[in-house]
Amino acid sequence: MSRRSTVIAVVLFIVVADVLFGGWIWFQNKVSGPGPHQTDQVVLVPPGSGIQSIAQTLVDQGVIESDWVFRLAARIKQADRSLKSGEFTIPAKASIYEVLTVLTKGETVSRSFTVPEGLTVVEALAIVDKAEGLMGPLPPAPDEGHLLPETYHYAYYDTKVQAVRRMEKALDAALEKAWTGRSEGLPLNSPEEALVLASIVEKETGVAAERPRVAGVFINRLKRGMKLQSDPTVIYGITRGEQPLDRELTRADLEGATAYNTYVISGLPPTPIANVGQAAIEAVMHPEETDALYFVADGTGGHAFSKTLNEHNRNVAKWRRIKRQGR
């Protein structure tokens, strides 16, 4: 090779090396420098998304400027096949490398829904059905009372079936644990009977401190063979938990022959009448020791308890006067 050719080759090598080095520096600045977005961005990556569609989503939301730079960075980092699906929060000004870290770690946004105590299965499933981000149809409705009221956390693209199954398992676990540690001498033959009674306690009082005493009253009545005479059971027999009863109970309602009318039937109704919280379950498993056999609303949100029918009738008269005065 002539001296001139050698010089040309060296010059070309230097130029190419300089270009490559400059390109590498440019690329590193692109993938390591701050991103264009000035605020946190929530990005949805559907299950089954490929790197090309993920890159385009990031471009569309202003998280990155170049889809091909993102794809190349992912391949260099060997992250192109380990990107997760879900809902992610991308911090403001995150670099491409930082975005890749978020998407490969798979730490998705935590969402939640809350099912309050005392709702029926129909009402609880309506809450699940409206939870944003839960996918697919609802499963067939579980048996009444077999969902545990609680706040449940989930990720976008989880399914409604998964959510409902979690609620069922949570109820089963809570009931089994409480039944195992229950007080002795309860007139209840199974965890299911305890759940039925807990649902009545749940619907009878919204005052947490009263639940063990209300449970104690019903336990006393069961032991004596007295009818429970619980209005919420009558209401459930009318509505079957599908909608609220938008009127007061009538004498005809209290005398109506349904399987849930505890003014007519002896013992417990055939199923729970609502979903119950752990506090109501514990109240039934460990009821307060009391002589009371009756209770009625006292106008404060709580109840007046009594041992005798005469005392109870006086409390009922007081409650009726309070209701008349409030009209």
One digit per residue, pLDDT tens: the chain, 327 residues?
Answer: 566 666 555 555 555 554 555 555 655 666 778 888 899 999 999 999 999 999 999 999 999 888 888 888 888 888 888 999 999 999 999 898 899 999 999 899 999 999 999 999 999 999 999 999 999 999 999 999 999 999 999 999 999 999 999 999 999 999 999 999 999 999 999 999 999 999 999 999 888 999 999 999 999 999 999 999 999 999 999 999 888 888 999 999 999 889 999 999 999 999 999 999 999 999 999 999 999 999 999 888 899 999 999 999 999 999 888 877 765
Distance of CA 293 to the CA centre of its chain: 36
State whether 224 and 310 are in the same domain: yes
State whether 202 and 312 are in the same domain: yes
Are 284 and 175 in contact, with CB atoms under 8 Å apart?
no
∠ CA 284-165-177, nearest 5°, is 30
Neighbours of 91 (CB within 10 A): 14
State whether 296 and 190 are in the same domain: yes
State whether 142 and 196 are in the same domain: no
Distance linking the first and last C-alpha atoms of the chain:
112
Are 269 and 192 in contact, with CB atoms under 8 Å apart?
no
**Based on the structure, what is the number of domains in the chain?**
3
In angstroms, the CA 155 to CA 232 distance is 36
Neighbours of 114 (CB within 10 A): 10
∠ CA 290-295-299, nearest 5°, is 130
State whether 83 and 139 are in the same domain: no
- What CATH number did the domain enclosing 65 receive? 3.30.1490.480
For the chain, helix, strand, coil in percent to 5 are 50, 10, 40
In angstroms, the CA 40 to CA 28 distance is 23
Look up tokens 């005479």; give the residue: 229
Residue 17 in domain: no
pLDDT of residue 78: 87
* Domain boundaries, position 163: 111-170
Residue 291 in domain: yes
